[in-house]
């Protein structure tokens, strides 16, 4: 009986958890797997319609990774993406905190309207904004420099961070801030010493989202930066590995694989914060 119960306890999750989850995991991982497999295939196999697309049948090649490293400025692009994303994320999260706090906590005329206005700003697509922003960037003399991206990315990151953090800050009980104020903290100290430590999951969630959006951004990076050595990874790979009607599929997939790594690493480390940050505003 005991051993049967133990066996049932052990086997039960297999059917109640692992089996139901498996299709979703496979679905989510399939693009990564396909990218990885394609990046190691020889060109001749990539062209072969009779080859099994999901497996490597004619030997592994590192040629596509070599192409990226030796024939393109891939690692410069990678570094550019990293610098721009980190800078834009830090700026946006700081501004987002400073904007979200008063909108979530202070009562002043138009607070709700400001909140909605910020959300609506986030909804304006970059494909509409890039033309007027081109003028702004040119007037500021920032064209063809990474600063153009550091300055423009917050235009869509700050509204997002603000909106997300507003929701999170509202879940933090006001009472703990009031206690701090009774103990002598001013508003800024309360925010820095009391609210933010409690709101770390929300801040990390906002930072993760901001970093991901910056890392994947394509349009502004294409429009505002032209020199090859200053391109970000998304634009550089696309520019160099799509030549007319010839696509360097192996190289493109190799670039996509390497490009996925920072995001994967960031989410692996901060997954718990991310989940709690996202769901905090869901229930009262």
Partner 1 sequence: MARLSAPTVHDSRVSRRRFLGTAGAGVAGVLASGKAPAFGQSRELTFLTVASFVPETDKELKRQLDEWGAANKVKVRLDIIAHLQLVTKKASEVQARSGHDLTALGPGLGDADLYFDYLVDLNDVAADVAPKNGGWLNPNDYLIRGKWKLLPWWMPPFPMAVRTDLLEQLNEKNPDTWEDWLRIGKKGKAIGHPFGTALGHSADANVTLLSILWSYGGAYVAKDGRTVTINSKETRQAMDFVKRLYTEAMDQEVLAWDDASNNRCLNAGKCIAIHNPISAYESAKKDKVLVPGTQREIAEVIDHINTPRGPVDRKATTGYWCVGIWNFSKNQDLAKDFLRYHFQPDNLSKWVEAGRGFNMPFLANLTKHAVYKSDKQYRFIPEVAKVSVPPSWPGPTTAASQQVLDLYIIPDMFAQHATGKMTADQAIVWAEKEMQEIYAGRKRRP
By CB under 8 A, name the binding residues for partner 1.
43-44, 47-50, 130-132, 134-135, 137-139, 141, 143, 219, 222-224, 226-228, 235, 238-240, 242-247
Can you list the alpha helix ranges (DSSP code H) found in 106-199?
111-123, 126-139, 146-152, 154-171, 174-182, 187-189, 196-198
Q: Which residue is it, tokens 């160099």?
A: 240
Cβ at position 251, least distance to partner 1 in Å? 12
Residue 100 CA to residue 93 CA, distance in Å, equals 10
Cβ at position 66, least distance to partner 1 in Å? 15
Q: Which is nearer to partner 1, 34 or 48 (CB)?
A: 48
Q: Which is nearer to partner 1, 42 or 170 (CB)?
A: 42
Residue 247, classed as helix, strand or coil, is strand
Q: Which is nearer to partner 1, 49 or 283 (CB)?
A: 49
CA 240 from centre of chain: 24
Q: Which is nearer to partner 1, 36 or 222 (CB)?
A: 222
Q: Which is nearer to partner 1, 171 or 239 (CB)?
A: 239
The CA distances from residue 278 to 52, 86, 268, in Å, are 39, 21, 16
Cβ at position 124, least distance to partner 1 in Å? 17
Cβ at position 70, least distance to partner 1 in Å? 13
Cβ at position 246, least distance to partner 1 in Å? 5
Tokens of 278: 């996202």
């Amino acid at each position: 009986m005991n051993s049967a119960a133990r066996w049932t306890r052990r086997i039960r999750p297999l059917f109640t958890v692992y089996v139901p989850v498996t299709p979703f995991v496979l679905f989510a991982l399939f693009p990564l797997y396909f990218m990885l497999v394609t990046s190691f295939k020889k060109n001749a196999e990539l062209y072969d319609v009779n080859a099994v697309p999901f497996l490597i049948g004619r030997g592994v090649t590192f040629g596509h990774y070599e192409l990226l490293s030796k024939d393109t400025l891939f690692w410069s692009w990678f570094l550019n993406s990293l610098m721009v994303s980190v800078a834009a994320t830090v700026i946006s999260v700081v501004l987002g905190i400073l904007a979200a706090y008063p909108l979530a906590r202070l009562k002043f005329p138009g607070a709700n309207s400001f909140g909605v206005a910020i959300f609506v700003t986030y909804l304006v697509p970059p494909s509409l904004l890039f033309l007027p922003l081109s003028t702004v960037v040119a007037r500021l003399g920032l064209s063809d420099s990474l600063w153009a991206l550091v300055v423009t990315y917050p235009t869509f990151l700050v509204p997002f961070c603000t909106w997300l953090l507003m929701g999170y800050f509202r879940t933090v009980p006001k009472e703990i801030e009031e206690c701090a104020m009774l103990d002598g903290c001013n508003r800024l100290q309360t925010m820095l010493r009391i609210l933010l430590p409690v709101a770390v999951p929300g801040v990390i969630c906002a930072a993760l989202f901001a970093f991901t959006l910056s890392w994947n951004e394509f349009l502004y990076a294409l429009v505002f930066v032209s020199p090859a050595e200053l391109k970000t990874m998304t634009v550089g790979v696309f520019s160099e590995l799509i030549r007319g009607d010839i696509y360097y599929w192996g190289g493109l997939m190799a670039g996509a694989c390497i490009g996925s790594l920072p995001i994967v690493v960031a989410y692996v480390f901060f997954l718990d914060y991310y989940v709690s940050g996202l769901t905090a505003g869901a229930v009262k």
